[in-house]
């Protein structure tokens, strides 16, 4: 099977897949995400959305579609922060896009009023805000290996009961499919190209919705903002440790880095405006993470060192601050959303 099919089964299989099994996310699970690290993360996203809403004609109701909401904590923190702008809190209607039944149940606990959509095209035909943290990295990727002057799809095969990536030397050449993805440096034998086939599809759908109906999208994830390069970014995590993605399918979180530059191109081709990709550290600090942590510290001095650690973890370059990026989409006729507009202005002035 293709690597993309393998990834989809590992993560999504109803019986044995990773996300359908309960208790995978969070400190006691396999990995911990920003909303699970601190409530400040979701709160700042809620404030960002409120600012965007106020500057975009205050559409009401405003469906907020969260893609891959995990335990549902980010939406809870967003909604709490949204109360700073009561009319926005009133307008916000949470909609969840989630495949795992176990996680849907978890999300319902935090949000008894939650509604779910099975397909993105089922989002209301009106301005919608799409948000997702560590969602795109969980979507299947395809890989291709350069062999004998041809691009061959990487498949998952098995030998003596051990799974491993293989190629079919007689398989079709994918050169045409990869035409505009090959970097300027010509490939060498054995070079790998990765295609975030499913993430590109999601971005194209979200962009099409925003183009037709208005709204905004904000995705946060780990990955590169540089133009595409060769290499595989496939990885797997279990119990907070890196493991072999082929060793124990269904029991590890198998993901890939998100190719932000490529996703920006996909969104632009679908007819929306893409804000400059920011690092998570820059985005959160500009949204006032430092000041928020300071205020919480003053209210509760005993938590000072814990809050300091949290800010460091979310923003420091050697932690999540630079590897994690933020991408935002708006309709082409609208100004860039809050924070991104300031950065664009500064870059223009610089």
Q: State the residues that interact with ligand SAH by CB under 6 A.
A: 11-12, 19, 25, 33, 35-36, 68-70, 74, 97-100, 103, 133-135, 138-139
Compute the least distance from the CB of residue 79 to ligand SAH, in Å: 15
321-334: string of b/e by CB count within 10 Å (b at 16+)? Answer: bbbbbbbbbbbeeb
| CB-based contact 13:175 (threshold 8 Å) | no
Nearer to ligand SAH, 152 or 320 (CB): 320
E strands along 168-205, which residues?
Answer: 192-195
| CB-based contact 252:237 (threshold 8 Å) | yes
| CB-based contact 94:124 (threshold 8 Å) | no
- Residue closest to ligand SAH when measured from CB atoms: 68
Nearer to ligand SAH, 103 or 311 (CB): 103
At 336, give phi and psi (nearest 5°).
-60, 150
Nearer to ligand SAH, 28 or 188 (CB): 28
Compute the least distance from the CB of residue 224 to ligand SAH, in Å: 19
Compute the least distance from the CB of residue 20 to ligand SAH, in Å: 8
Compute the least distance from the CB of residue 127 to ligand SAH, in Å: 22
Nearer to ligand SAH, 142 or 145 (CB): 142
Nearer to ligand SAH, 108 or 150 (CB): 108
Compute the least distance from the CB of residue 134 to ligand SAH, in Å: 4
Rounded to the nearest 10°, the torsion over CA 122, 84, 133, 296 is: -160
**Spatial separation of the C-alpha atoms in residues 167 and 156, rounded to whole Å:** 8
Compute the least distance from the CB of residue 8 to ligand SAH, in Å: 8
**Spatial separation of the C-alpha atoms in residues 92 and 44, rounded to whole Å:** 16
Please classify residue 256 by burial: count the beta carbons closer than 10 Å to its beta carbon, then call 0-12 exposed, 13-18 middle and 19+ buried.
buried
Nearer to ligand SAH, 35 or 337 (CB): 35
């Amino acid at each position: 099977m293709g690597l993309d099919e393998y990834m989809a089964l590992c993560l999504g299989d109803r019986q044995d897949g990773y996300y359908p099994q309960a208790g995978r996310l969070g400190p006691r699970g396999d990995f911990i995400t920003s909303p699970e690290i601190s409530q400040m993360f979701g709160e700042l996203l809620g404030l960002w959305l409120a600012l965007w809403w106020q500057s975009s004609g205050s559409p009401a109701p405003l469906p907020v579609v969260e893609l891959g909401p995990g335990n549902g904590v980010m939406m809870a923190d967003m909604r709490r922060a949204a109360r700073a702008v009561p009319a926005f809190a009133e307008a916000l209607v949470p909609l969840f896009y989630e495949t795992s039944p176990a996680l849907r149940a978890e999300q319902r606990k935090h949000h008894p009023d939650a509604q779910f959509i099975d397909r993105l095209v089922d989002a209301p035909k009106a301005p919608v805000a799409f948000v997702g943290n560590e969602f795109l990295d969980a979507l299947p990727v395809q890989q291709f290996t350069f062999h004998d002057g041809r691009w061959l799809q990487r498949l998952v095969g098995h030998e003596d009961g051990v799974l491993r990536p293989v190629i079919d030397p007689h398989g079709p050449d994918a050169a045409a499919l990869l035409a505009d993805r090959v970097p300027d440096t010509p490939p060498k034998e054995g070079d790998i190209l990765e295609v975030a086939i499913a993430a590109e599809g999601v971005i194209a759908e979200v962009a099409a919705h925003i183009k037709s109906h208005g709204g905004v999208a904000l995705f946060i994830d780990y990955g590169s903002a540089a133009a595409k390069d060769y290499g595989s970014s496939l990885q797997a995590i279990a119990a907070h440790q890196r493991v072999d993605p082929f060793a124990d399918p269904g029991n590890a979180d198998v993901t890939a880095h998100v190719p932000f530059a490529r996703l920006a191109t996909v969104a632009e081709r679908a007819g929306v405006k893409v804000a400059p990709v920011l690092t998570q550290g820059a985005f959160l600090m500009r949204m006032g993470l430092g000041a928020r942590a300071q205020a919480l510290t003053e209210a509760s001095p005993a938590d000072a060192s814990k809050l300091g650690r949290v800010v460091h973890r979310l923003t420091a370059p050697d932690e999540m601050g630079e590897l994690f990026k933020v991408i935002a989409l708006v309709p082409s006729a609208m100004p860039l959303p809050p924070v991104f507009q300031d950065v664009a202005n500064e870059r223009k002035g610089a």
